[in-house]
Every structure is written in structure tokens, then in C-alpha cells.
A and B are shown apart, each in its own frame.
Chain A
Amino acid sequence: KAGVTQTPRYLIKTRGQQVTLSCSPISGHRSVSWYQQTPGQGLQFLFEYFSETQRNKGNFPGRFSGRQFSNSRSEMNVSTLELGDSALYLCASSSRQGASYNSPLHFGNGTRLTVT
């Protein structure tokens, strides 16, 4: 069974631009969640989508948005990029809504975004 696939692996953008990251979950998984990882803050939850609906949201500004398609693939968009948005963006899939005990998270290898 293929794992969670994130594209692209690396991205370099300029301040003020926008960026779209893509995540393909494990086949059959309907939940996709997104996380930002920086050396200082660790992993921080951005949002979760289940059956094309946003079910949960972290404390990030509105510049961060996402969506989920009918095939469960998800995209994350960041508009008006700032230097502080440089981070590793991880997505994770699970078979059920939320990160329940019986439905652990499976992470992709992330997209490394650098904003210059």
C-alpha cells in the first residue's frame, strides 16, 4: 500500500508570493491533516479535512487555507508569503475523522518551503 505522498518536496518562493502544496493520502483514508514544523516551534496543527469539509482548525492566520477533493487528495495554500512561513509542511492521513487511538496518523515526508 502506497504511503502518503506530498509534492513538491522542495520549494523556494519570494516574500509576497503564494504557494500551493499537494498531499495524496493512503488509499481509503478520508482524513487529511496539515502541520507546520519549524526548529523553534516543533509541529503545529494547521487544519484537518474529512470528506471534503474542514473539521478542525489550528491557530494560523487566514493566509493559510486548504481544501480536499472528492478523491481525498488535499491541497494547502499560503498567500502573501512571509519569511516566517519558511518551514517543513507535513500532511498526515488517517482512516477516521480526527486522530483517534484506533486510527493513527500516517505522515508524508513533507514539503520544505523556503521564503526569501
Chain B
Amino acid sequence: EAAVTQSPRSKVAVTGGKVTLSCHQTNNHDYMYWYRQDTGHGLRLIHYSYVADSTEKGDIPDGYKASRPSQENFSLILELASLSQTAVYFCASRTENTEVFFGKGTRLTVV
């Protein structure tokens, strides 16, 4: 099965600080995604990438940057963390036949 590994699994960050969430996939998938999930809600797309060194904005990109330095790695960067960015963040990659596999998630708490 597809393997998507996220780190860290949980993090507490201070308001105004910089946060980097990392994602690594070993599936040789072209597409990778970052979603956030708020309690009691579905997932919303932040950024995605279909090739190394290129990223695209998703539905809620404000306050986030993304970086895809290689096919295997995709990072999400919060330059100035805010309380409203407290959420669970999921990285995912996609197979050729459209199936999307999610990592185990990173629980981010901004205080």
C-alpha cells in the first residue's frame, strides 16, 4: 500500500512563529497535496503539487506556503502562525488511477 509519512505528528507552536510540516512519500506519485481538517468538518485543500519545484494554490492558501524540492518531499510552511491555524493537517499523494492516500496527519496547536 502507498506510504505517506508526515512529521512531526503533533506540534505546539507560538503565535507569530514559523512552522514547517514535512511530508515524504515513497510511491513515486506525481501529485501531492496538503489538506487541513478542523474539528467536525471535512478536509480543505491548501496547496498541491504535480511536479518537483512547482506548487499550486488550493482552496484556502492564505497564510500558507508550500515547497516541493523533490518528487518524494512536500512541505507546508506557516511563516507567521496564528491561532486560527490550529487544526489537523493531512498530506496525501495520488496514484495514476486517481486514488488518494493520506498520511497519518499532524496535529498543530497554535498558542
Chains A and B belong together in one complex = no
A interface residues, Cβ below 8 angstroms from B: none
B interface residues, Cβ below 8 angstroms from A: none
